[in-house]
């Protein structure tokens, strides 16, 4: 009985299931129709992608007026597009520096900006973010051509800016190009017309403006002048003025300069319209970062090479940049120090290298944990070398501004760093006073002479083995003297106070090379001193003659007083003649100095051994 009942129970649902199945099929059919109808309606109501993007941009722009610079702690606090924010996060940029916070706020609102900040404060990102946002607002494409122009003083700084742009702007669809000397002009000409963001040096850009028919900047929205003071110092003032004249007046301009010189202010008046001034460290106590420890050592010229070698041997686990006055010094000392094998990687960066070699050295130094980079002032501006522990200035900088830029390669972005300056006894007084005027805190330290390692004999052995190295040493000797001779500040730099024979020995040379331009200048200086002595003797003779006349006229009191007045008048007229005569001599001397065989171009004279 139980089995029968169980069978009956099993059969009952099967009999009653016919209706639910049919109803489910009906429901499924109805659901499918409804789903298809809703989908069609959604597709019809769905907006085009460009329209959604436009509405998103409009929402961002509507927030520009509400920007509060003081409350912006993160980049996401600014009304910046998601694409830019993702690029910043990917490159590990999360919190803006002071210059970035102020500049981005003004630039997003479309205002011109004149910015000044200490080196290492993050000026590069301060203008790259507004550039990306400006073109994104306009929905710029490769078909629209040039939209933003970034001008840098050196190829290395332009390359570095380009690399940062690649990281931060990787989510955008803009095209960017690096236009610098040392690359193929023809290949650049073929692609420049469809490039949205051009990062360039001024000389190369003007060359394209003159020679490339397809290049035009009529639709330019933003111009950025990075390190404007350095561009002008390098003699590009006329080039820059010619470039600015060819650009549309309706553009937005961002001008950045570490120092506010008269030439920078003149350029600002020409290129900016009602700018916002951003002086981040205007009220700062010092003009260099607080995390930078700065010292100087006074040593004789012939001890400098030993000092450098001893310094490197005692800092084998550090990352060091050594600055020199001229290329020939870098070339020679780099080669001989490689032969000396100090125990850590050595690299050289200077203006005589091919462009690809300079880029290779730059990237190589970035990757190394510990290394020494021998460089001219080509590496002193703007270049961001992470984790540099020491900056050693082997030669005294041209002025305090150059010093500030050199030491700015370390202690970047609130990190620590140390700087050491080697000064000659004749350079100490004038240079230290100039640094103090610029609010640079620097301390004098002493070096234990017993710890210095003498490498002179090894250098002499190298030069005896290789004639080529001897010629390099001679060129290094002459080039250094020329750089000192051309320095404008004669209170600091006096080439005639240098111990030339001892300096030649310290480079490994047995005899000091003959320096033609120095011999001529010395001869002129001697002639000038001889003329002065003759003038002094002549004035003494005149004085004796006047005294004799006064004694003769002393017999009659009235006549004596009258003659004394006459003699005083004669004396005054004689002084005027004495003053006038040296003026004529000085003019003739300047004319002679202009004829010296310096074998350098005018641009090199302007740079005063910068490169």
Cα-based distances in Å from 469 to 66, 104, 318, 333, 335: 65, 52, 28, 10, 8
Question: What pLDDT does residue 119 have?
Answer: 67
What tens digit of pLDDT does each residue of 195-214 get?
A: 999 999 999 999 999 998 88
Domain ranges of the chain: 2-45, 64-279, 292-506, 516-607
Looking at the predicted structure, is the pLDDT value of residue 110 above 70?
A: yes
Question: Please, what sign has the CA dihedral across residues 474, 477, 478, 483?
Answer: positive
Looking at the predicted structure, is the pLDDT value of residue 553 above 50?
A: yes
Cα-based distances in Å from 497 to 154, 285, 611: 34, 35, 24
Domain 292-506 in CATH 3.30.70.890? The answer is: no
Question: What pLDDT does residue 518 have?
Answer: 86
Question: Please, what sign has the CA dihedral across residues 382, 384, 387, 390?
Answer: negative
Looking at the predicted structure, is the pLDDT value of residue 545 above 80?
A: no
Banded pLDDT at 44 (limits 50, 70, 90): low
Q: Whose structure tokens read 């003494």?
A: 540
**Burial track 550-579 (b if 16+ CB lie within 10 A, e otherwise):** eeebeeeeeeeeebeeebeeeeeebeeeee
CA atoms of 489 and 432, how far apart (whole Å): 13
Question: What pLDDT does residue 585 have?
Answer: 32
CATH class of 64-279: alpha beta
Banded pLDDT at 587 (limits 50, 70, 90): very low
Average pLDDT, the chain: 83
Burial of 282 (0-12, 13-18, 19+ CB in 10 A): exposed
CA atoms of 127 and 591, how far apart (whole Å): 46
Question: Please, what sign has the CA dihedral across residues 158, 163, 167, 172?
Answer: positive
The arrangement of strands across the sheet holding 319-323 comes to 346-349, 371-375, 319-323, 390-393, 417-423, 292-298, 443-444
The mean pLDDT value for 264-278 works out to: 87
> Within 10 A of 593 (CB to CB), how many other CB atoms are there?
13
End-to-end alpha carbon distance in the chain: 112
Tokens of 250: 């309706």
CA atoms of 394 and 381, how far apart (whole Å): 17
Question: What pLDDT does residue 8 have?
Answer: 53
If one compares 52 and 341, the residue with the highest pLDDT of the two is 341
> Does this chain's domain 64-279 share its CATH topology with 292-506?
yes
CB 394, CB 330: distance < 8 Å: no
Strand partners, 319: 371
CB 143, CB 153: distance < 8 Å: no
Q: Which of 132, 115, 121 is nearest to 167 (CA)?
A: 132
Banded pLDDT at 5 (limits 50, 70, 90): low
Q: Angle 431-153-252 (CA atoms, 0-180°, nearest 5)?
A: 120
What tens digit of pLDDT does each residue of 56-109 get?
A: 999 999 999 899 888 889 999 999 999 999 999 999 998 998 899 999 999 999
Looking at the predicted structure, is the pLDDT value of residue 563 above 60?
A: no
> Within 10 A of 65 (CB to CB), how many other CB atoms are there?
8
CA atoms of 442 and 295, how far apart (whole Å): 5
Tokens of 428: 């100490």
Looking at the predicted structure, is the pLDDT value of residue 601 above 60?
A: no
Looking at the predicted structure, is the pLDDT value of residue 606 above 80?
A: no
Question: What pLDDT does residue 282 have?
Answer: 59
Helix (H) or strand (E) holding 486: helix 467-486
Question: What pLDDT does residue 281 have?
Answer: 66
What tens digit of pLDDT does each residue of 223-241 get?
A: 999 988 888 888 888 999 8
Whole-model pTM: value is 0.70
If one compares 159 and 564, the residue with the highest pLDDT of the two is 159
CA atoms of 391 and 374, how far apart (whole Å): 10
Looking at the predicted structure, is the pLDDT value of residue 218 above 80?
A: yes
Question: What pLDDT does residue 266 have?
Answer: 83
Question: Please, what sign has the CA dihedral across residues 312, 316, 320, 326?
Answer: positive
CA atoms of 271 and 265, how far apart (whole Å): 10
The arrangement of strands across the sheet holding 252-256 comes to 176-179, 197-200, 148-151, 222-225, 252-256, 113-116, 276-279
CA 435 from centroid of its chain's CA atoms: 19
Question: What pLDDT does residue 284 have?
Answer: 66
Banded pLDDT at 510 (limits 50, 70, 90): very high
Question: What pLDDT does residue 554 have?
Answer: 63
Instruction: Tell me if residue 148 falls in helix, strand or coil.
Output: strand
Number of H helices, E strands in the chain: 23, 14
Percent of the chain having pLDDT more than 70? Answer: 85
The mean pLDDT value for 26-46 works out to: 83
Question: What pLDDT does residue 574 have?
Answer: 41
| Long-range pairs, 39-48, Cβ under 8 A, ≥24 | none
Question: What pLDDT does residue 58 have?
Answer: 93
């Amino acid at each position: 009985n139980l089995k029968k009942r169980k069978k009956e129970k099993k059969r009952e649902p099967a009999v009653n299931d016919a209706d639910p199945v049919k109803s489910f099929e009906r429901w499924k059919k109805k659901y499918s129709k409804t789903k298809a109808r809703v989908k069609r309606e959604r597709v019809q109501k769905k907006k085009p992608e460009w329209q959604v993007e436009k509405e998103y941009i409009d929402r961002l722009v509507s927030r520009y007026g509400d920007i509060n610079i003081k409350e912006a702690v993160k980049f996401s606090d600014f009304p910046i597009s998601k694409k830019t924010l993702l690029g910043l996060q990917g490159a590990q940029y999360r919190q803006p520096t002071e210059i970035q916070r102020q500049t981005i706020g003004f630039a997003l609102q479309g205002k011109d900006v004149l910015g000044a900040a200490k080196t290492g404060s993050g000026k590069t990102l301060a203008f790259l973010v507004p550039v990306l946002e400006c073109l994104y607002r306009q929905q710029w494409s490769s078909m629209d051509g040039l939209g933003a122009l970034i001008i840098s003083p050196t190829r290395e700084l332009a390359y570095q800016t380009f690399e940062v742009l690649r990281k931060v702007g990787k989510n955008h669809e803009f095209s960017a190009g690096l236009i610098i000397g040392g690359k193929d002009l023809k290949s650049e000409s073929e692609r420049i017309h469809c490039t949205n963001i051009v990062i360039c040096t001024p000389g190369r850009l003007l060359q394209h403006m003159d020679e490339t028919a397809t290049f035009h900047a009529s639709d330019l929205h933003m111009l950025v002048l990075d390190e404007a003071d350095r561009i002008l110092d390098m003699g590009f003032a006329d080039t820059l003025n010619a470039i600015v004249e060819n650009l549309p007046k309706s553009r937005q301009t961002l001008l950045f300069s570490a120092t506010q010189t008269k030439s920078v202010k003149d350029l600002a008046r020409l290129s900016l319209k009602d700018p916002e001034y951003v002086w981040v460290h205007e009220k700062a106590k010092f003009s260099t970062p607080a995390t930078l420890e700065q010292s100087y050592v006074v040593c004789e010229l012939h001890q400098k090479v030993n000092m450098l070698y001893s310094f490197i041997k005692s800092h084998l686990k550090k990352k060091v940049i050594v600055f020199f006055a001229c290329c020939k010094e870098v070339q020679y000392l780099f080669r001989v120090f490689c032969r000396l094998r100090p125990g850590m990687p050595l690299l050289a960066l200077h203006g005589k290298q091919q462009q690809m070699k300079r880029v290779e050295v730059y990237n190589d130094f970035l990757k190394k944990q510990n290394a020494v980079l021998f460089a001219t002032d080509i590496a002193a501006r703007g270049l961001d070398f992470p984790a540099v522990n020491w900056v050693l200035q082997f030669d005294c900088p041209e002025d305090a501004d150059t010093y500030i830029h050199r030491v700015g390669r370390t202690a970047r972005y609130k990190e620590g760093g140390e700087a050491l300056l080697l000064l000659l006894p004749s350079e100490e007084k004038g240079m230290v006073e100039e640094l103090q005027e610029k609010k640079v805190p620097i301390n004098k330290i002493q070096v234990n002479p017993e710890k210095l390692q003498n490498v002179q004999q090894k250098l002499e052995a190298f030069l005896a083995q290789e004639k080529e190295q001897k010629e390099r040493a001679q060129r290094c000797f002459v080039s250094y003297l020329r750089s000192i001779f051309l320095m404008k500040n004669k209170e600091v730099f006096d080439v005639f106070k240098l111990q030339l024979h001892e300096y030649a020995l310290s480079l490994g040379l047995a005899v000091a090379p003959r320096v033609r331009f120095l011999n001529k200048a010395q001869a002129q200086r001697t002639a000038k001193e001889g003329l002065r002595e003759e003038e002094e003797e002549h004035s003494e003779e005149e004085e004796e003659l006047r005294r004799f006349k006064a004694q003769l006229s002393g017999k009659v009191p009235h006549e004596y007083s009258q003659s004394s007045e006459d003699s005083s008048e004669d004396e005054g007229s004689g002084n005027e003649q004495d003053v006038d005569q040296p003026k004529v001599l000085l003019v003739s001397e300047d004319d002679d100095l202009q004829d010296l065989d310096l074998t350098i171009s005018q641009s090199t004279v302007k740079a005063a051994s910068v490169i």
